[in-house]
Amino acid sequence: MAAVKVFCPAISTASIRVILCLEEVGAEYERVNIDMATGEHKSPAHVAKNPFGQVPAFQDGDLVLFESRAIGRYVLRKFKSSDVDLLHGSSLEESAMVDVWLEVEAQQYDKAISPIFYQAVIIPRFYGGTTDEKVVEENLVKLAKVLDVYEARLSHTKYLAGDFFSFADLSHYPVTHFSIKIPQVAALFDARPHVKAWWESLESRPASKKVTAGLPQLS
């Protein structure tokens, strides 16, 4: 079977989400580098794969996909096994809970933590700009409220969808891996013991260690 292809730069939280899925299921894949600095993601060749000119794009034979969470679902469905089923499709109830917490990640968690990461890390590191501390503070308040919900949830279950690791947990990993280095974000996690334990369990997974081993420190 030909390896699937992921078109992405070395550092991209959305792309890391896809790579993590591939590593968790043990699938063969090829990462095709996209040079964001030269605008390759806006080139006709890449836009043909991702019409929004973003990363990642994904190819499996004639099938071309974009949007990392959709790609992740495809990978986890195609390569699932009796040992690895991070969507828990065999149980209607469990798969529903995975869907719920995937939506929470996309609509609540990511919308709070990503602006912090962008302002505190991306703007000064890649654009030479100045962090907008007001934006950071506003989103730290939002993130704290989200993590309060997580703390309550994780006081009853080991992982977000239940007592099993799922795509709902994995999807949080990429942006958190970088953002946890920001002291204010780390403090929010440290203040919530169940959230902190959950995060440490995600960090300890072999796939997480492998994928992030070669990534530079951005903080």
Residue 214, pLDDT > 80, answer no
Band of residue 218 on the pLDDT scale cut at 50, 70, 90: low
Beta strand spans in 45-182 (E): 57-60, 63-66
- pLDDT above 90: percentage of residues in the chain: 91
Check residue 2 and give its pLDDT.
Answer: 64
Query: Residue for token digits 């891996």?
Result: 177
Q: Give the Cα separation of 219 and 213 in Å (integer).
A: 15
Distance, C-alpha 102 to centroid of its chain: 10
Check residue 16 and give its pLDDT.
Answer: 96
Other C-beta atoms closer than 10 Å to the C-beta of 113 total: 27
Check residue 11 and give its pLDDT.
Answer: 87
Other C-beta atoms closer than 10 Å to the C-beta of 169 total: 23
Band of residue 10 on the pLDDT scale cut at 50, 70, 90: confident
Check residue 1 and give its pLDDT.
Answer: 56
Q: Say whether 5 sits in a helix, a strand or coil.
A: strand
- pLDDT tens-digit map of 19-63: 999 999 999 999 999 999 899 999 999 999 999 999 999 999 999
- pLDDT tens-digit map of 146-196: 999 999 999 999 999 999 999 999 999 999 999 999 999 999 999 999 999
